[in-house]
Amino acid sequence: MMIMKFRSMKLSRSLSKLRCGKSKNDTSESNSVSIQRCNINVDAEVKWELRPGGMLVQKRDIGEESIKEEVILVRVVTGSRWHDISIQPTSTFGELKMILSMVTGLEPKEQRLLFKGKEREDEDYLHMVGVRDKDKVLMLQDPATKERKLATETIIASYRTIIV
């Protein structure tokens, strides 16, 4: 009876190509990677990033694009007005509401954001829902808070008429 151990072909090929006379006992430390290919030496440190879903992945380096963080332009429509907001695609709708509160004067709890016909929760990430550059998001004022504001304004107006 013959017992065989299988290694991934991809792994075994890459190791055999990269060794070029390196001993098998050579171990690398923590986050540094040293690759020796015949007479070319490359030393690099592996950088990690935590994705919004909680997954830990190796950070990609894409030249100048890695230095400049990606920003998308979202057009937020409120009735007859619209606002162009620059925001990172990995932001949440709650963060977008915070920016809109500075622009519109409505508190984040008074806002309702709709994208693709559905109201989005504060915890939803823009890129996970599918918001891309130059997409439109509809902002409505929450009807319950609108009614409360009207009620308080009528009460204040009635007190002012009594005083005068």
**CA distance linking residue 112 with residue 95, whole number of Å:** 13
pLDDT at position 9 is 44
pLDDT at position 99 is 93
Question: Token pair 């009460």 is at which residue?
Answer: 155
- What is the CB neighbour count within 10 angstroms for residue 23? 6
pLDDT at position 14 is 45
Taking the CA atoms of the chain, what radius of gyration do you get in angstroms? 28
**Among residues 32, 140, 15, which one has the least CA distance to residue 76?**
140
For 145, phi and psi rounded to 5 degrees? -70, -30
Q: Are 49 and 38 spatial neighbours (Cβ–Cβ below 8 Å)? A: no
pLDDT at position 54 is 76
Give me the tens of pLDDT residue by residue for the chain, a chain 164 residues long: 455 444 444 444 444 444 555 545 555 445 545 555 555 555 567 778 777 777 888 877 665 554 456 899 999 998 889 999 999 999 999 999 999 999 988 899 999 999 999 999 999 999 999 999 999 999 998 888 778 888 888 888 888 777 76
